[in-house]
Amino acid sequence: MPQKISSAEWEVMNVVWEKQSLTAAEVFEALPKGHGWKQKTVNTFLTRLVDKGVLAADKQEKAYVYTARVAREKSVRIEGDSFLQRVFRGATGDLMLHFCENAELSADEIRELELLLKKKKARK
């Protein structure tokens, strides 16, 4: 199971998940502007992510090419479960109520939530 990744590491991973296979320089260039990081900082994040087992680093010609070893969906699930336990003490209903009450939801998102809840209710 992959280790927890920091907020900054999530930024780097989002680039890798989107682009799939990049060098450190390509990751740096693809990051949102304004983060204030230097290339060396990004290299450190990449090394940490490799050490955590989230990224693979393959030497190709003169540079390492980084690819995700863990799917974004799995990382989101792990982070979500951790958040649920840490903040809501595992109370899924409380989490859902909090976000439904406080989030701006589009009509489509509301319909999707209603469908999910109807399916959930039908299974009980």
pLDDT at 111: 93
CB 78 within 8 A of CB 28: no
Average pLDDT, the chain: 90
pTM of the model: 0.75
Confidence grade of residue 84 (pLDDT, cut at 50, 70, 90):
confident
Cβ contacts of residue 21 below 8 Å, gap of 6+?
65, 66, 67
Length of the chain: 124
Pick the CATH number of 1-90 from 3.40.50.10860, 2.60.40.1930, 1.10.10.10, 3.40.50.1370: 1.10.10.10
DSSP 33-98: TTS---HHHHHHHHHHHHHTTSEEEEEETTEEEEEESS-HHHHHHHHHHHHHHHHHTT-HHHHHHH
Residue 1 has pLDDT above 60, yes or no: no
- Kindly report, as residue ranges, where domains of CATH 1.10.10.10 are found in the chain: 1-90
